[in-house]
């Protein structure tokens, strides 16, 4: 991610008015929309602090082809039909191996994925995004880029209730009714899958970690991904609590920032505040 200064705001005093540049963060968002992906994308589109310079699509919630169609639809809904959408691979891909300089070309990678010292959601060991391509995930975690990762241990603490969804529907916000409508299937799925009444805000929580990191606590550590066996896709972090007697697969790996705790109420309020905007 890189910064640009192409939006101006005005700072006024009693004696003068001065135009100052507002720094916009450029984002490339890799997505597989997905209801919570859609909510996160619509939040980004609402905020002038961010400029989406492109979307890339991948399989996950749906096939890559369907993810591309959904992403194009969301750009239309948001009023940004000209944002480039690049369709990704329909199967696991070791993309970072193709460009070893990748890590130096981005400011930061913010990842929704993994489950740190908590259960997975595809099986007891693994979270779905990492499980989909564990080899590529391990390459990314060890590539040396500045990485922030937010896993299920954090995102499952943040949920929109039925009341929250009704509040958005009736708020007059630009996307409130749209989000309410697309969330009904997602809400029913949560009841069947997790026995909860509401929807987990996985992707919006990950975006909040970029937008308002002060709402989170992070811990630094090297992260590796299991790529074989019954724990394939498992993310395991070295917390740095022990001086190991010999080298191991975590030795020499650049630490990443792992979401540890979250002010769930504050993130929910943030999501609602942004989505209530006209």
> pLDDT tens, 96-142?
666 767 777 889 999 999 999 999 999 999 999 999 999 999 999 99
Q: What is the pLDDT of residue 106?
A: 86
| 218 three-state secondary structure | strand
Please identify which of the residues 30, 32, 36, 238 carries the catalytic annotation: 32
**Active-site residue, selected from the candidate residues 138, 202, 203, 234:** 202
Active-site residue, 197 included: no
**pLDDT score for 55:** 97
pTM of structure = 0.89
Distance between CA atoms of 58 and 81, rounded to whole angstroms?
Answer: 19
250: left (phi over 0), alpha (psi -120 to 50) or beta: alpha
Digit-coded pLDDT (tens) for 131-166: 999 999 999 999 999 999 999 999 999 999 999 999
Residue ranges for the chain with pLDDT beneath 50:
1-20
How many residues make up the chain in this entry? Answer: 278
Asked if 122 and 131 touch (Cβ cutoff 8 Å), the reply is yes
Mark whether 32 is an active-site residue. yes
């Amino acid at each position: 991610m890189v910064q640009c200064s192409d939006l101006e705001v005005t700072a006024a005093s009693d004696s003068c008015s001065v135009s100052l540049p507002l720094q916009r963060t450029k984002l490339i968002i890799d997505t597989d929309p997905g209801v919570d992906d859609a909510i996160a994308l619509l939040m980004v589109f609402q905020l002038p602090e961010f400029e989406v310079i492109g979307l890339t699509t991948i399989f996950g919630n749906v096939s890559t082809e369907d993810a591309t169609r959904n992403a194009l639809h969301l750009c239309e809904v948001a009023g940004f039909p000209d944002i480039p959408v690049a369709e990704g691979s329909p199967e696991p891909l070791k993309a970072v191996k193709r460009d070893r300089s990748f890590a130096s070309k981005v400011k930061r990678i913010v990842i929704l994925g993994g489950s740190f010292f908590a259960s997975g959601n595809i099986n007891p060991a693994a979270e779905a995004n990492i499980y989909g391509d564990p080899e590529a995930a391990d390459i990314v975690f060890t590539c040396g880029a500045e990485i922030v990762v937010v896993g299920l241990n954090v995102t499952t603490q943040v949920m929109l209730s039925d009341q929250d969804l009704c509040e958005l529907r009736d708020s007059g916000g630009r996307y409130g009714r749209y989000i309410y409508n697309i969330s009904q299937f997602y809400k029913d799925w949560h009841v069947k899958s997790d026995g909860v009444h509401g929807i987990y805000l996985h992707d919006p929580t990950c975006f909040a970690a970029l937008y308002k990191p002060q709402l989170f606590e992070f811990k630094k550590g090297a992260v590796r991904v299991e790529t074989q066996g019954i724990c394939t896709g498992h993310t395991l972090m070295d917390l740095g609590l022990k001086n190991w007697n010999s080298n191991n697969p975590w030795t020499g790996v650049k630490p990443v920032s792992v979401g540890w705790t979250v002010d769930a109420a504050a993130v929910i309020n943030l999501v609602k505040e942004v989505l209530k905007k006209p």
